[in-house]
Chain A
Amino acid sequence: MMSEEIIKDVIVGEQEDYLINLGPQHPSTHGVLRLEVCLKGETVKYLNPHIGYIHRGIEKMCEALTYQQIIHLTDRMDYLSAHINNEAVSMIVEDALQVEVPERVKYIRTILDELNRIASHQLWWCAFGMDLGALTTFFYGLRDREHILDIFEESFGSRLLHSFVCPGGLMHDVHPNFQKRTKEFIKYFRTKLPEYDQLLTGNIIFQNRSKGIGYMSRETAIGYGVTGPSGRGSGFSCDVRKIAPYGAYDKVRFNEILETEGDVFARYKVRMAEMHESLSIIEQLIDNIPEGDFTAKMKPIIKLPAGEYFRRVETARGELAVYVVSDGNKTPYRMKFRTPNFSNLFVMNEIASGYKIADLIAISGSLDLVIPDIDR
């Protein structure tokens, strides 16, 4: 009896509201996200995201760890852009200590960023196809992602959570095969990308499922702080690589992909085009990696001068901003991560209400959420 009373208290709304819990264990919430969805028939009236199922207190843990140790925690936030997260923290330390990292490091970091972005978009493509019921996409995407993970494994020894970038440079130099294999991958993936379009993009069912649903206006995107490919699908120019170039991004020519439709298909198109764009960025850099050290000279114990530091980078899902308050110790006084998925999730009520429950899955897929990044 007790439990029923609690349930009655929790559920507020009209009598005929049909509330279902999507998650925390649900195949298409991509993790432990719970969406409390109110349905009218098949139509979503409103939804209420509940987060915190994988909260680990990373920001609090950072306060007790040195900067070298924090790197390893950032891997575990957005595990699909682990490399880019590492870079954000490393750059904060370098900024604060005013260390000039060698050119070689900048080039390699940028190449790894883009490889990481491609791998992340590939996995998104797999999962998005699955969300819409096209089960074969999963294996096509993972087949190609494997090539990137193999490159990573050869150089860093790990495939997902690399912790390869560290304050001052890299943990060690990349494998001698790195250049050759990356070039091979570019050639290989260029031939495989048209397959993606043949299998999914051109499909009439897929286009009907994704066009015109989940409309997000530019104002909504800016208002909620939706960044990354999801924001750019609404015409919100928010690419940190363009606005505030870091690494070697100022040395390459690339386009910021912008779509103005703001629907699921627009976000899909942005990500597909970004894969092409990332390939071209890597292509421009891979032959020109300068010789030199893989790290700048750093002290074994890093102490940031007292003050506030801020840095932002473009992960595969949007803008990751890191804010550090240091009191001069070897551990930060306060560390705050502004993760892209948190903002991207909470726009869902705005853009998914009024659409069907099947569209809700497509919309959440098109936002490309990684739940550990939300909960931290």
Chain B
Amino acid sequence: MSSNIYDFSTLTGSIHTWLSGMMSSGWVIFTEMVLVGLIFLLMYALLGLFLVYLERKVCAIMQNRVGPNRVGKWGLLQTIADLIKLLLKELIPIRKSDALLFNLAPFIVIICSFLAMAALPYAKGLQAIDFNIGVFYIMAVSSLSVVGILLAGWASNSKYSLIGAMRSGAQIVSYELSVGLSLLAIVVFSGTMQLSGIIESQANGWWIFKGHIPAFISFVIFLIASTAEINRGPFDLAEAESELTAGFHTEYSGIKFAFFFLAEYMNMFIVAALGATIFLGGWMPFHVGNWEGFNQIMDYIPSVVWFFTKTFFIILIIMWFKWTFPRLRIDQLLTLEWKYLLPISLFNIVLIAFIVLMGWHF
């Protein structure tokens, strides 16, 4: 049924046997860990830089502009130039700020997004850790970043930062519920929290198609709530540059600011990847019923291409939100969550449980 043409486990397996032939098992594990860590670091940086570039190009198209086009071909090196600039900038110490917490906050934020990256399945057989509670793990880890944001706001000793951090705290804690419940809907459908298991269950159709209307409702709720959870427009109240200048990272400069910036973009990637995995079948190719020929052609497209296509599809939707909508107000934001999204998703869960119980889904 599913494709075995581009299975990354054969590649990783051969690397493992090659390493095992050279050193003892303890060293093999150590080497593999270092390798995986390095690959993730590299991927994190490259994806972050590319996402920043992509956002600038997307918003330029939406705003009748050209966007970066001077540094490198089509401005591709612009973000790298920006990164070098940020690295060279002075780290300004803030008077009367809590130096330890102030310096710790960007690391907490970036570590949280880094941890979540580890559990994502990028392609068939390409997943660093396949937890049996993968969905839960990613939810838990990504919600920890609110600690970093609150610390940043508190330790900056700035009133704007504090307001931004408090807004962000209220927002992330609220929208966590809707994200969780919308993911739970698919967990109920597939009967597992393991990400690889959820993907396997979508071999003959993605959940957004198989799960009737309730799955679509949870997909929409997931999109809205996760946009809010990663503090992006129209829910970017924590930054709200027209009100709070830059919110919780007003006082940060140089590479510490870059950490917040990068973490924001990588969080966007993580929620998009999670949405693609849970609702759109992850790296599973697009299959239609018993169109054997069509399905075979789809199988020839590598799984990693499928994964990134779906992820960037969701990323583009999230970017589209940001560059079109005005920002919500804090009370409207909380009203949206507690009065609309949460009751709808609770009702949705009951509906899905009923559908699964009656065996009505495909």
Is chain B a partner of chain A in the same complex? yes
Q: Which A residues lie at the B interface, using CB under 8 A?
A: 18-20, 26-28, 39, 42, 129-136, 138-140, 143, 199-200, 203, 205-206, 208-209, 356-359, 361
> Are B329's CB and A206's CB within 8 A?
no
Total A-B residue contacts, Cβ distance less than 8 Å: 84
> Are A27's CB and B328's CB within 8 A?
no
- Interface CB pairs A-B, < 8 A, 20: A28-B242, A39-B163, A130-B242, A132-B326, A133-B233, A133-B242, A133-B326, A133-B327, A136-B59, A136-B63, A203-B325, A205-B332, A208-B332, A209-B327, A209-B328, A356-B331, A357-B163, A357-B243, A358-B237, A361-B242
Residues of B within 8 A of A42 (CB): 163, 167, 330-331
Contact with A134, one of B159, B237, B245, B325 (Cβ below 8 angstroms): B325
> Are B64's CB and A140's CB within 8 A?
yes
A136 to B242, CA, bound (A): 14
Shortest distance between the CB of A39 and any CB in chain B (Å): 8
> Are B325's CB and A205's CB within 8 A?
yes
> Are A139's CB and B63's CB within 8 A?
yes
> Are B326's CB and A203's CB within 8 A?
yes
> Are A205's CB and B326's CB within 8 A?
yes
> Are B329's CB and A358's CB within 8 A?
yes
Shortest distance between the CB of B109 and any CB in chain A (Å): 22
Shortest distance between the CB of B166 and any CB in chain A (Å): 9
Q: Which B residues lie at the A interface, using CB under 8 A?
A: 59, 62-65, 159-160, 163, 167, 233-234, 236-237, 240-243, 245, 322-332
Shortest distance between the CB of A199 and any CB in chain B (Å): 7
Residues of B within 8 A of A18 (CB): 159
The 6 closest A-B pairs by CB, nearest first: A133-B327, A139-B63, A134-B326, A132-B326, A28-B242, A358-B329
Shortest distance between the CB of B15 and any CB in chain A (Å): 46
> Are A200's CB and B245's CB within 8 A?
no
Query: Looking across the interface, which residue of chain A has its beta carbon closest to that of B322?
Result: A135
Given A205-B328, A209-B329, A359-B329, A136-B62 contact (CB < 8 Å)? yes
> Are A129's CB and B64's CB within 8 A?
no
> Are B236's CB and A133's CB within 8 A?
yes
Other than the given A42-B167, A135-B323, 12 more pairs (CB < 8 A) read A20-B163, A27-B242, A133-B325, A133-B327, A136-B59, A139-B65, A205-B327, A209-B326, A209-B328, A209-B329, A356-B330, A357-B163
Residues of A within 8 A of B331 (CB): 42, 356
> Are A27's CB and B241's CB within 8 A?
yes
Shortest distance between the CB of B40 and any CB in chain A (Å): 32
A205 to B160, CA, bound (A): 24
Residues of B within 8 A of A200 (CB): 326
> Are B325's CB and A20's CB within 8 A?
no
A175 to B265, CA, bound (A): 51
Residues of B within 8 A of A39 (CB): 163
Given A20-B160, A27-B245, A28-B243, A133-B234 contact (CB < 8 Å)? yes
> Are B163's CB and A143's CB within 8 A?
no
Shortest distance between the CB of B268 and any CB in chain A (Å): 17
Residues of A within 8 A of B325 (CB): 133-134, 203, 205
Residues of A within 8 A of B240 (CB): 133, 358
Shortest distance between the CB of B211 and any CB in chain A (Å): 27
A19 to B237, CA, bound (A): 20
